[in-house]
Amino acid sequence: MRVVGIETEYGITDPGNPGANPILLSSRLVQACRVWSGNSATRWDYGGEDPLMDLRGMRRERRYATADLLTDSPEYSEANRGVTLRRRRGSWEDPAHVNAVLANGARFYVDHAHPEYSGPEVTSAHDAVVWDVAGDRISAAAAAQMRADGDDVALYKNNVDGKGASYGTHENYLVQRSVDFDDLARRLTPHLVSRQVVVGAGRVGLGQFGQQAGFQISQRADYIEAEVGLETTLRRPIVNTRDEPHADRRRWRRLHIIVGDANSMEVPTFLKVGTTSLVLSAVEAGDERLDVLELADPVAEVSAVSRDLALRYRMRLASGESATALEIQRALVTIARDYVSDEADARVIDRWERVIDALGRNPFEAARDVEWVAKLQLLGRMRERYAVLDADGTMILPDWDDDRLQAADLQWSELGTGLAARLSAAGAVERIVSDADIERAMTTPPSTTRAWLRGRMVSQRGDVVDAASWSTIVLDRDSEHGHLEVLTLPDPLVTSHHLVDTLLAEAGPAHTPTRD
Q: Which residues are catalytic?
A: 111
Q: Does 345 bind other proteins (CB under 8 A)?
A: no
Q: What is the largest CA-CA distance in the chain?
A: 86
Q: Does 362 bind other proteins (CB under 8 A)?
A: yes
- Binding track, positions 170-209, relative to other proteins; x by CB under 8 A: x---------------------------------------
Residues 377, 384: Cα–Cα separation, whole Å: 11
Q: Does 1 bind other proteins (CB under 8 A)?
A: no
Could you tell me how far CA 471 lies from the centroid of its own chain?
19
Q: Residue 38 or 164: which CB sits closer to other proteins?
A: 164
Q: Near other proteins by CB under 8 A, which window of 27-35, 88-96, 142-150, 384-392?
A: 384-392
Dihedral of CA 192/195/196/197: which sign? positive
Q: Are 19 and 124 in contact (CB under 8 A)?
A: no
Q: Does 233 bind other proteins (CB under 8 A)?
A: yes
Going through 439-510 in order, the beta strands assigned E by DSSP cover 465-468, 472-475, 484-488
Q: Near other proteins by CB under 8 A, which window of 33-41, 105-113, 345-353, 481-489?
A: 105-113
Residues 41, 102: Cα–Cα separation, whole Å: 5
Q: Residue 84 or 413: which CB sits closer to other proteins?
A: 413
Q: Residue 222 or 466: which CB sits closer to other proteins?
A: 222
Residues 277, 281: Cα–Cα separation, whole Å: 6
Pairing of strands 395-396, 252-257: unpaired
| Choice from 180, 350, 384, 435 touching other proteins (CB under 8 A) | 384
Residues 310, 326: Cα–Cα separation, whole Å: 11
Q: Does 406 bind other proteins (CB under 8 A)?
A: yes
Q: Are 247 and 471 in contact (CB under 8 A)?
A: yes
Residues 127, 283: Cα–Cα separation, whole Å: 23
Q: Does 155 bind other proteins (CB under 8 A)?
A: no
Buried b (16+ CB within 10 A) or exposed e, 443-469: bbbbbbbbbbbbbbbbbbbbebbbbbb
Q: Residue 183 or 327: which CB sits closer to other proteins?
A: 327
Q: Residue 137 or 422: which CB sits closer to other proteins?
A: 422
Phi, psi angles (nearest 5°) of residue 474: -100, 120
| Choice from 1, 346, 407, 505 touching other proteins (CB under 8 A) | 407
Q: Near other proteins by CB under 8 A, which window of 33-41, 77-85, 371-379, 434-442?
A: 371-379
Q: Does 450 bind other proteins (CB under 8 A)?
A: no
Q: Hey, is 375 helix, strand or coil? A: helix
Q: Hey, is 101 helix, strand or coil? A: strand
Q: Near other proteins by CB under 8 A, which window of 42-50, 120-128, 143-151, 426-434?
A: 426-434
Q: Residue 163 or 498: which CB sits closer to other proteins?
A: 163
The footprint of other proteins (CB under 8 A) covers 9, 11-13, 18, 22, 111-114, 161-168, 170, 212-215, 232-233, 258, 308-312, 361-365, 367-368, 376-378, 380-385, 387, 394-397, 399-400, 403-404, 406-408, 410-411, 419, 422-423, 426-428
